[in-house]
Amino acid sequence: MKKILQLAKKEFIQTFRDKKMLPIIFVAPVLQLIMLGYAVTTDVKHIYLSVMDLDNSVESRELAGAAFHSGYFDFKGKIENEKDITTALNSGKTDFVLFFPVDYSKNIRMNKKASFQIIADSSDSNLTSIGMNYFSQDGILKMRNSYERMNLRSKIDFKATKWLTLGGNFIYSSATKYNDQAGAWNEAYFAVPIMPVYDPLNTTAWPTDYSSAQYLGYRSGQNPFPTMDFNDDRMKIKKLLANFYMDFTLIPKVLTFKSTYNDSYTVVDDRAVNLPYYTSDGAQNPDATVTKTNSSYNNQIWDNVLTFNKKFGSHYLSVMAGTSFKDEEYQMLTAQGKKMVDASMEQEWYLHNTLNIQASAVNDDGSRQYGMSYFGRVAYNFNEKYLLYATMRADGSSKYQQKWGYFPSVGIGWVISEEQFLKNNDYVPFLKLRASWGQLGNDHIQASDGSNTINVLKTTMGGIVYSGTLATSTFSYLKWELTEETNVGFTAKFLKDKLSADFDYYIRDTKNAAIPVIIPMVGTSVLRPVGTIRNKGVELSLNWADKIGSK
* Predicted local confidence at residue 107, as pLDDT: 29
Long-range contacts of 528-536 (CB under 8 A, 24+ apart): 528/476, 528/477, 528/478, 529/477, 529/478, 529/479, 529/481, 533/509, 534/507, 534/508, 534/509, 534/510, 535/506, 535/507, 535/508, 535/510, 536/506, 536/507, 536/508
* Predicted local confidence at residue 123, as pLDDT: 52
Mean pLDDT of the chain: 80
- Residues with pLDDT less than 50, the chain: 1-82, 89, 93-122
- Interval 134-162: pLDDT, tens: 888 888 888 888 999 999 989 888 888 99
Q: How far apart are the first and last CA of the chain?
A: 45
142 burial type by CB count under 10 A (0-12 exposed, 13-18 middle, 19+ buried): exposed
226 phi/psi in degrees, rounded to 5: -60, -35
The pTM for the full model equals 0.70
